[in-house]
Amino acid sequence: MGSSASSKETLTADTALDLYRRLVLIRRFEEQVSKLYAKNKLPGFVHLYIGQEAVATGVCTNLRDSDYITSTHRGHGHTIAKGGDVNRMMAELYGKVTGYCKGKGGSMHITDMKIGMLGANGIVAGGIPIAVGAAYGAAKIRKTDQVVAAFFGDGATGEGPLWEGINITQAWSLPVIFVCENNLYGVGTRLGKVMGSEDLAPRVKGFGVPVEVVNGNDVVEVRKAASEAVERARKGKGPTFLECKTWRHRGHFEGENPTYFDQEEYNTWMKRDPLKTLESTIQKRGLADSQRLRDIQKQVDAQIQEAVEFAEASEFPKPEAALEDIFV
Amino acid sequence: MAQMTLMEAVRETIRSEMKKDPTLFIIGEDVGKYGGEHGVSGDLWQQFGDDRVRDAPIAEASIVGCGLGAAITGCKAISEIPFGDFVGMCMDQLYNQVAKIRYMSGGQVQVNLVIRTTMGGYVGGAEQHSQSLASWFVHVPGIKVVIPSTPADAAGLLRASLNDGNPVIFFEHKNMYGLKGEVPDDPDFTIPLGKANILREGSDCTVVATSLQVHNAVKAAEQLEKEGISCEIIDPRTIDPLDEETILSSVKKTHHAVIVHEEWLKGGYGAEIASIIADKGLFDLEGPVKRVAAENTPIPFSPVLENFVLPQVDDIVDAVRQTFAE
């Protein structure tokens, strides 16, 4: 499954540690959210990104602040990887006025326009047409070299608008990187039960879009594949479809026990944990010692702790604020 | 002032706004070289080219989403859906994305998007090409609903919609594109959204009408005048947000109200207007609020059937008479 891409990649210690810090930041944030949710601190629903950190990280480290991403209901990892503020994220999950969306959107609608995060989206494939539009506006109207990474899952390949987007971006050479996080399950349904194949990239080839299948749990491999896709897009050469094979560790949403997972398959994927994979790469290449990694973990833990304290100390919005922000 | 058709008024407004704002573009099926499925975009493609007058595949979700994505990242967009009946194909983008993205993001996003589409029958378009679906969008918060009834209104309201900074769905009646009227020459001519127009002053009955029914209401009023009933005709122009004040002031004066629209009767926005009158103007009424609307059936093909279903001048005349209790 993995290619030799990671061995060809020239990975510096700084880059590796930066990637590691981002993976840990997403992981620790989500683990904290899981704990808080179990303590009934967070209203509504959360869909955790644990296990898929390498995809968001590998893609977003190739993006500028001025590039865009569209996301899904499972958007915490995308937001953090793009450079999101964990304080404002945590506050949003609590429903506090200091949250990214003033408590109005919650987990599934976290948005940070300053870093081009066009919003998590509660509708499967709902962000795809928006990604196409952001790409169109950039490339065809404002004539910039901005690119758009559109994240979606294997489940989204059931939705028509995804294929509309793949077609349109190819027809008009729009700068979109389609990042498919194939974690093999749409909620509780195995991909193969509802699709002709569990390999999604071959279907895309017919549209003329270049595809690459990557080990979605190897951040170095994702990063390399994404860098090529980003460059292609920036040069006006159109879209790329990255199928990132990965696995989510937890249920579709917190509170759901994924009894539909095959235990053996689950164990196999746990061994491919993206954090462990990068740790192993760092160790094998002698890029940093384990103390350095522990230091990063500690820093991140402190950062997450601060985020929780920020959220807890923040105010809820005034009830009447519900009437604001519909229109300018 | 210049005499032009409603279609020309829309086209010239788009042209002048595209000249003013280099980030404004239109995307839709056949809007380019073909000139628009109804002919509205005309020669815009010849003038502005592919990027700014973009022919789309038959992919309505992407037509709206493309407009949305561009509209929130520094452009202004017109997404054209040639028949309102097709909005089912882009409904998620309209009500879950366009209408909500600003609110969900806590106000981070400004949506400079106008969705232009059509409504209306009387052309034998049958069930899937004759519907008037504005009521759905009145119901969903976050998208403004504008329906012009004259060329001048089309020009002024469209310009206002393009500069509102909010999502607007703009309904053009497909059987009114040839309607002629005077349109001001002023390239900045604007009619504010949320402001109704009193076309005809009267003292006996307030008739609130939209789109083509405005013209039916005028004919009905002329007939009723001969019977000694003086109708005040109000065109809301913007259905959401609605100019309640103008309507309620009129009812306060006339004590009778009839609402006419081509959308179906049941749950149409006429029910919303009637409800507002019943709530805030009840003690001004001396008769029931009557609604003239399409029968609650799909719009049939054969002209005799279609004319039975869709509002006619006589229906408005009858309704006005019925507000005067025996």
Q: Would you tell me which residues 41-70 of chain B have a C-beta closer than 8 angstroms to some C-beta of chain A?
A: 51-52, 54, 56-57, 59, 61-62, 64-70
Residue A264: predicted pLDDT? 96
Q: What distance in Å separates residue B118's CA from the closest CA in chain A?
A: 22
Query: Helices (H) and strands (E) in chain B — how many of each?
Result: 12, 14
Contact A168 B142 (CB under 8 A): no
Beta bridge mates, A75:
none
Which residue in the list B38, B129, B173, B261 is annotated as catalytic? B129
| pLDDT at position B196 | 98
pLDDT of residue B149: 98
- Res A54: pLDDT: 98
Q: What is the pLDDT of residue A9?
A: 58
Indicate the residue of A140, A165, A167 with minimum beta-carbon distance to B51. A140
- Omega of the bond prior to B167 within 30 degrees of 0, cis? no
**Does residue A226 have a pLDDT over 50?**
yes
pLDDT tens digit string along B194-206? 999 999 999 999 9
For chain B, which ranges sit under pLDDT 70? 326
- Name residues whose C-beta falls within 8 Å of residue A155's C-beta, 6 or more positions apart in sequence: A124, A185, A186, A187, A191
d(CA A16, CA A287): 8
For residue A178 the two structure tokens come to: 């389609």
Chain B contact for A111 (CB, 8 A cutoff):
yes
Do A165 and A128 form a contact (C-beta atoms < 8 A)?
A: yes
Burial of B292 (0-12, 13-18, 19+ CB in 10 A): buried
For A139, B7, B22, B24, the CA distances from B19, given in Å and listed in that order, are: 19, 18, 7, 9
CB neighbour burial string for A228-240, b if at least 16 within 10 angstroms, e if fewer: bbbebbbeeebbb
* Percent of chain A with pLDDT strictly greater than 70: 97
Q: What is the mean pLDDT of chain A?
A: 96
Domains along the sequence of chain B with CATH? 2-183 (3.40.50.970), 197-322 (3.40.50.920)
Is-contact B2 B82, C-beta < 8 A? no
What is the CATH class of A5-312?
Answer: alpha beta
Burial of A258-282, coded b for 16+ CB within 10 Å and e otherwise, reads eeebeeeeeeebeebbbbebbbebb
Q: Could you tell me which residues are beta bridge partners of residue B77? A: B25, B113
- Check if the beta carbon of residue B207 is closer than 8 Å to that of residue B220: yes
Q: Are B257 and B274 in contact (CB under 8 A)?
A: yes
Full-model pTM? 0.96
> A140 to chain B: which residues are within 8 Å by CB?
25, 51, 54
Residue contact A164–B72, C-beta within 8 A: no
| Of the partner residues B61, B74, B107, the one whose CB lies closest to the CB of residue A142 | B74
* Residue B322 at interface with chain A, using a CB cutoff of 8 Å: no
**pLDDT at A5 (0 to 100):** 44
Residue B76, chain A, CB below 8 Å: the answer is: no
Q: Catalytic annotation on B255?
A: no
The confidence score (pLDDT) of residue B326 equals 63
Q: Could you tell me which residues are beta bridge partners of residue A190?
A: A185
What confidence score (pLDDT) does residue A10 get? 81
Neighbours of A33 (CB within 10 A): 25
Query: Which tens digits make up the pLDDT trace of A82-134?
Result: 999 999 999 999 999 999 999 999 999 999 999 999 999 999 999 999 999 99
Domain spans, chain A: 5-312
Q: How far is A20 from chain B (nearest CA, A)?
A: 29
Distance from CA of B310 to the nearest CA of A (A): 34
Of A68, A104, A123, the CB nearest to B106: A104
Q: Which of A19, A103, A92, A110 has its CA nearest to residue A61?
A: A19
Checking if the pLDDT of A7 tops 50, the result is: no
Res A2 pLDDT > 50: no
Contacting residues for A198 by C-beta, under 8 A, at least 6 apart: A154, A182, A184, A191, A192
Q: Give residue-wise pLDDT tens across range B273-285.
A: 999 999 999 999 9
Shortest alpha-carbon distance between residue A208 and chain B (Å): 16
**DSSP assignment, residue B94?**
I
Query: What is the interface pTM, i.e. ipTM, of the complex?
Result: 0.96
Strand partners, A148: A68, A176
In order, the DSSP letters of A4-18 are: THHHHS---HHHHHH
